[in-house]
Structure 1
């Protein structure tokens, strides 16, 4: 055995060395697939590491691997290594995934959607603002913003890939291509301040005024304004009686980080609050407007990226996102007829330099009819006075981690999840009070379970899996990285809660209340009850034997993970969670048939999969044995003579002596509902009958004594 282990480690080391060599020197076939006209490959460049590619003496571009330039972990915890070709104009010549361990692409959707996703980058410019948004896929609004299609069920993976492509390609472009130079950073002089009113700010060019007339709108579009059935334009022209010299809108904008603009416009307290809201290295841009035509598109949602308004610097797009700053309404700046005011955040990693000229763009996308659309862009240029800044050599700011952006985007989901978990916690803490009202108890549990299935499972994709268990074990073995687990906020919160409650109440908190597939089995069981399908009773001996099967499956899965993660992920398909909850049965027929068979078995044996096959339940059961409390109340008479709770326990986790097998119990609380309701507990009903009989006998004896 030691010899085999030694050989295995030698083989693994050899494989890693071989892989690293391949990564350091991509094959000519891979490079030729991106640059088919190459005749020679130049000497490697090291800062950053790239390979120049030539056709004779003409430079075709640069080839590089993302692992040499970025360190962004994917959903699996491993980086997604891609080979990218960049031509001299900054266009992506091609892209190929060299190595990844993303479970959704390896054993779920397959790699075809991944290939389709990365192929969208071909021909796109690094100077573009590339946003993954399937709703607007393929749209180019002319402002340098390009929308590409995401992959359903693989949100985290494709966002990691997008960040990886853009970060590495921009780093190469700035190092080797003309037009991508990043000037030295400008630092605001905090001591420069002079009180100005609104008019003075305009006169000193600290605030830029940008009037836009109907004539300019009309001239900037290929058709006349009247040819566009746009509600905003129609309302605008009606209000102004179609006088083309009238203003469509007047827009005002300024860089807000400087005291001379921020303090004068917002006041000291609000300017101080703005500085607290902005993270280190971030910038704020204030935009206000008068007139009828808004700088924000209809349906704009607060806190998001505007589509109509854009910002450019040095010919490159700069991402801006609404800060949603004015909680108590817009301040009075003294602007007559002001209609709108927003503050936009500019991220630290955008390369934005406030001392350099900026270009504000108004990007119109108008429907001429149901088939044709026209785009137009209107620009205004402005530069803040140089005396407001100290110019320093640029210090590269580390981009905001992807997990932080994901948490910001999924705050509503996390909040609703926390509400659900709070309800579950309350139900467990006050379970005896709640179970005394059987109808309320059933409504609470079914309400939580339906939210678990619909919101946690289907919408938020919060189905826990045994894969998470051995991912954690491998992380602990290879060096724990918390960011890997933070990439999915819902899973992180849910796992944290389940782990804590394992030591309070055991596995039943998750298995009986918070498992989407478990709820689906409960629904199947309820359907069987409505259809009056006779339930098959598993003999006690076979029931005990079958219960051990899930523990054997758990051992095999965890053991295989240390041998091969890919093998373990394939074996984890014994869980039908991916087929039913993640992919909605949109898989090849063997997976669908398997999942349907498991659900169908639940029509005859309640929660068949949970009881006998679920490796996740087995893993939680092992940890649940360390729970500190035994909350399910039992009476002295339970098991001897009363067997009512055992008979009614659909999961068959109550022993003949009346005790509860907590390692198998899913904490549905039906047994304590029976015990806490005198009209359901057989012991209580028997004792009530006996007391009533005794009272009747005493009453009869009293009557007889009186008669005598």
Structure 2
């Protein structure tokens, strides 16, 4: 029956991780791996933003999200088009996939292939680039402008796809990355109205006029003025301004209703989708904002709007196709007139100046031409804006994470304080050595259950070369502050290395080490036969972990992806981080190491662990070698040596602190008069010396016989 009980307890310990769910880290999904090939782990965002954060080791690679969680652009069917998007930390779309839609033209007409082909064009797009979809105009060669082929007969659907992708990605970029704007603090005032004259609209800067003569345009573009003459539109005389634009944001009634009149203003507003902004653009100059071959309903190639370096996705509303423009105020007649729209979900902040840009095509010779760019800033007057109800400026992400996990940090801190007390006052606590075993078992259970499974505080060699790479490439402490438990643990372990060496972590803070030790305790209780490693082999094998450490660190500086693959020599990710929720080969490997620990005490820690090797290197500079030793240790008494499961006590009684996990078993033995036989040896020696002294002091006189 005893062997059955042992087997039951053994299996219970091995299966315990399956009963506990990991807090956040997950195995990289196939979908994420397809977009981020070098990803090693991922987790859900720690705040309300519905994104998944993707990591390579401890370095963030980007974000994976579904557009339905961030935007709501109804397609031709009335339902949204849902896509999965991968965005890297530079604001570049790495991959994209169609998840669901109800567009009739693709379901019952063209088939899904044209839609998928259109979507795939967004792979590699930077959010800093302007996208022109299906433009039939002469294409401009520019790093800031990209052209995507549209889908014939499905213009509405593809434009909804475009708005969905760009708006969702921009929301993530604004929330997680720098250089993509911030949360909007103002909005357009669409309630206030009072009649104003044309001169009043101009005086109040409600209309923006941008006018450049040919000489001014040449200076702004950095070219010779004679080259601009050939760029003029064919029907424009030389005596007109080269650029003469008028802009008006029509949504505020103070602008739109005064400029267009009640009827036309309502017509324009009724064509807008919720959240859309209408921008009237007219020109009278020698170079218009749209070319002669501009296609209605598309995005202009010459004219652009940007905010903080990011383009706003303009699209012609095609409002003057069947009906001519009608103005309530007598504006000068425009030779080109369009109303463009863009969504406020594109990141538009009315309080931020608009960069109004024109791209001018200049002929270099009869075979080639070049494109130059000129821009001007327009800031909407404050009277057209109303403040969004103030909200507190959000704390940095790492601070929000620390606040959310303050309970875990407090529990961890209490344990570390207790642990420090044990190590500092161990000479005073030896009188309570009979409580060492239950206290040790309680500590191991806490380390596995709380530090490991719940708080995800398993340190790894990956952390070591992540730190080294960070120091090499430019250290940013915020990266490490994103995981408070690991930060607290590493800070504590780093300090403790110079006090007591590696043993404090390996013996009292490592979850996988605790798993091995618990299994070894069960094996010892039920007298599972141990495999004895010969001392000669042991002395060689302990250096294997240093070889693994050097290999991993060296590889990290040359081929990081290979280094992270080789880091799977650590079973921590499988057994602790992912709680055995992983593919079978990894699970078998981790379980095999745990099973071996029942036969060879903490075999992985002793011979293979690169993290332990790295800690041992720094541990050589410790200040204290504080474990009690006696002159009898090693000769003649070798009880501590034989009781040390990890073989960290030499035959002469000295302790190898590079291998010692400071389980305190030798401290308990040496302070226990019933267990430590040094006193017995000492008494025997004293008795022997006393006997010898007595024998030497007795003088025997023998009288000679006389015969």
TM-score normalised according to structure 1 size: 0.47
Instruction: Choose between structure 1 and 2 for higher RCO, CA contacts under 8 A separated by at least 6 residues.
Output: 2
TM-score normalised according to structure 2 size: 0.47
Q: Which has the larger radius of gyration?
A: 2
